[in-house]
Structure 1
Amino acid sequence: MRRRANRSSAEQNADIDMTPMLDIVFIMLIFFIVTTSFVKESGIDVNRPSAKTGETKAQGNIIVGIKANGEIWIDKRQVDIRAVRANVSRLHAENPLGSVIIAADRETKTYVLVAVMDQIRLAGIMNASIATESESQ
């Protein structure tokens, strides 16, 4: 009879306590959420024009960067003007609530900016914004 009692107590002690492992998993999850950047940058630095009427967008955005020499950058990659529509469509499908922001250098030619805006509209997004710097009053 004693052997039975010893076996049943050994079986009760054989259970694995999952609480510490779950704590570690949740801490790692919180760490990765906090350190992840949710804004996709265009991958280039531009000298944006200033505006007194600029507004701040709070949601995650799709940023299309245009350098002064006419290079177009999306998601840290240089793209051709013909690929803007496909890239913006893909990124918009991944983040349907995000808006499209065009970060054009102040020296960018107008025809390049208009061509990019046309490609964005052909992708089905009618409310693209142009990034500016706030002007001090």
Structure 2
Amino acid sequence: MRRSRLLSQEQDDTEVNLTPMLDVVFILLIFFIVTTSFVRESGIEVDPPQASTAEVQAQASILIAISPEGEIWLDREPVTLAALGPRVVRLQAESPQSSVVIQADRASRSGRLVEVMDRLRQAGVDRIALAAQQPDR
């Protein structure tokens, strides 16, 4: 009888308690979810013009793309010029520190770019940048 009690105590002592390890894993998971920044994409690939004075934009989280055909893309879907302003205002309300970057293809019309910029300014968006790539050196 005494021997069976000792055996059962030894078996209880050798079990590994996984609860603290699971707690740490969940805390790390929550940390990574909270600290991850989500970048919105425009939805299409564009070939931006080159500029030797191009600078990297740190807080560019709202991307608008203008295709060579003049289509406007926002958040991976095409959008009309009339709907562009309200949608960008809504996206900026979600993250107030974000800026808007327009990625116009080098083959797109400059008139379309001016229309997009004008529509954004009418909607009250004041931080607008144009995407360009630095020339290969």
Range into which the TM-score falls when normalised by the shorter chain: 0.7 to 0.9
Distance (whole Å) between structure 2 residues aligned to residue 48 and residue 37 of structure 1: 24
Q: Match for residue 46 of structure 1?
A: 46
Question: What stretches of structure 2 of length at least 5 have no aligned partner?
Answer: 1-17
Partners of 1:109 and 1:51 in 2: CA distance: 17
Gaps in structure 1 of 5+ consecutive residues: 1-16
Where do 4+ consecutive residues of structure 1 move more than 3 Å? 17-21, 30-34
User: 2:60·2:100 contact (CA, 8 Å) conserved in 1?
Assistant: no
The corresponding residue for 1:5 is: none
1:33 is displaced (CA, Å) by 5.2
Contact 1:50 1:133 (8 Å CA) reproduced? yes
Using the size of structure 2 for normalisation, the TM-score is: 0.79
Q: Which residue of 2 aligns with 1:98?
A: 98
Q: For the Cα contact (< 8 Å) 2:41–2:75, is it kept in 1?
A: yes
Q: How many residues align?
A: 121
Contact 1:44 1:65 survives alignment (8 Å): yes
* Equivalent in the alignment of 1:71: 71
Query: TM-score under structure 1 normalisation?
Result: 0.79
Pairwise CA RMSD: 2.2
SS of 1:112's equivalent?
helix
Matches within 5 A, 1:1-137: 19-32=20-33, 38-137=38-137
What percent identity do the matched residue pairs reach? 38
Q: Distance in 2 between matches of 1:77 and 1:128?
A: 20
